[in-house]
Structure formats: C-alpha cells, structure tokens
Chains A and B, each alone.
Chain A
Amino acid sequence: MQVFKNALQLYSDTLSIREQRSQLIAGNIANVSTPQFKARDISFEDAVQRAMEVDKPVLKTHSKHFDLEDNQHEVGYRQPVQASEDGNTVEMSVEQMQFSENVTRYQISLSLLNKKINGLMTAIKGE
C-alpha cells in the first residue's frame, strides 16, 4: 500500500489544507460586519511543508518528547491594506480574491488527483 500512499499522500494533504483555508476565509467573510474581528489565514506553502515533514519518521529518544502526529497549521492574522475604523480587518475584496484563488487551486489539485487515480487504475488493469 506504500505505493498508493506515496502517489496520493501529497494530493490528500493539499486538499485538506485547501479545505481548511476555505473554512478560515468563510469565517472571515462571515465576520465582515463584526467590530474588532481580525481576519485570519494560513500560509499554504508552510502548511504543505509541515504536512510533508510530519510524514518523515522522527525518533522519540526521550519519553517527554512530543508526538509529531498533529499536523495542524499555524493560523496567522492578515495584514489589512486599510483597516476599518471599528477595528475589523476583513476586506471583502481581498477575501473574495483569496477565496476564489483557493477554490480554483483546490479544483486543480482535485483534477490532478483524478488523473493520478486514473493512471493507477490503468496500470492495475493492464489494458
């Protein structure tokens, strides 16, 4: 099964990070009229990097070492172009752009994954 894992792991990581990012941006859009709300986001590159590092086996040489199982991504705050007077840093145009970019890239990953699965299926069937 390692073959499948090697072939598909990156795509599944990518998709779940993209989904988490969508949820964050949805939260930002939901809070567009909440005073003092700070828009949040994750860095996709860092998150992928972290997800890939977690897959590497890490030796626990001490009982107090932390488990490296959780591959949760660090949520940061967005730097507003121009923050509004009420302390809210959600800018609808920025969020809409980020959301649509994220969705498009999700679809790209999805079709790449589909192609990969089809390729594997062809190899299995040997047609």
Chain B
Amino acid sequence: MIDQIKNIFDITARSLSAQQVRLNTIASNIANAHTKVGDPAKAYRPLKPVFEAVMSDKQGEDGLATVDVSKIVALNRAPTKIYEPANPAADKDGFVYESPVNQEEELIEMLDASRAYQNNLEVISTMRTLMVRTIDIGK
C-alpha cells in the first residue's frame, strides 16, 4: 500500500487496485450465484466494495486525489428459500437457501469496473509517453 500520493503513478496504481478488488468481489459473487445451504444464516451474501476518495496530504496545493477500497461489506439480502428435499444440504423440512446474487447486476457492475480499469490504463500510458517526450526535449 502506498501511503502518500505524490504523482500520477500513485493515483492510477491505487485506482487500478481498487477496481481490481471490485472485479474480485464480482467474480466471487458470480461464482457463488447458485450456492445452496441448509441454514439461511450461512448462505452466501453478495460482497460489495466501498469506494472512498483519498486526497493527498497537500490537498489544497496540488489537488491530487485517488481512490481506495475502505471496506468490503456483505449485502444484507435475504437468501432465496427453495423447496428441494432431494438436496443433501436440505434442512429437516426439505428447504435449501440459495445465495441472493443478482447475476445481471453483477455483470453490469463488471462492465463498469472493466471500463474504469481501461480508462485508468489509458491515462497512465498517455502520461508515460508525454514524460518520455519531455525528457527528449531539445534533442
């Protein structure tokens, strides 16, 4: 973890890792979309990262800001109750509890995260080209 935001590389690096965490949670949610358990308390709950803007120490002067995942929360959604007596995981009444993952929601979120990731990459590769050109000045 980088503590200080000094330049554009710090901004983009942290933003990329935040989007990476977001993609990780989406992957976990989609992977667990059909997980069924016999106890509603143990059912998988979709994970969501909480994004938080991080300002640099000298915020008033340079105006740098990046983003961090401050925490990852499990959504408080009720699992779907399904009657499936043949399932070995079923409780004594024959019910199983499926994780309340909304796959469409996860897919949209995945597109958004991947676009944000690409945008950040584009920024850093453009800035890197500019830096190289600036070094070559006067040649």
Whether A associates with B in a native complex is yes
Q: What residues of chain A have their CB less than 8 Å away from a CB belonging to chain B?
A: 15, 20, 22-37, 40, 42, 70, 72, 75, 92, 96, 99, 103, 106-107, 110, 113-114, 117-118, 121
Which one, B7-15, B36-44, B87-95, is touching chain A?
A: B7-15
> A43 vs B127: C-alpha distance in the bound complex, in angstroms?
20
Contact of B14 among A22, A30, A37, A72 (CB under 8 A): A30
Known contacts A30-B14, A30-B15, A34-B67; A23/B7 CB under 8 A: yes
Is A30 within 8 A of B120, CB to CB? yes
Tell me whether A33 and B123 are in contact in the complex, defined as CB-CB below 8 angstroms, given that A23-B62, A26-B8 are known contacts.
Answer: no
Q: Given A24-B63, A33-B51, A107-B130, does the pair A117, B22 have CB atoms closer than 8 Å?
A: no
How many chain B residues touch A (Cβ–Cβ < 8 Å)? Answer: 35
Query: Which residues of chain A have C-beta atoms less than 8 A from B18's C-beta?
Result: 30
Asked if B26 CB lies within 8 Å of chain A CBs, one says: no
Residues of A within 8 Å of B64, CB to CB, are 23-24, 27
Contact B134 A15 (CB under 8 A): yes
List residues of B whose CB falls within 8 A of some A CB.
7-8, 11-12, 14-15, 18-19, 22, 51-53, 60-67, 112-113, 115-116, 119-120, 123-124, 126-127, 130, 133-134, 137-138
B66 to chain A, nearest CB (A): 5
A30 in contact with B12 (CB, 8 Å): yes
B120 touches A29 (CB 8 A): yes
A-side interface mostly: helix
Assess the B127–A22 pair: CB atoms within 8 A: yes
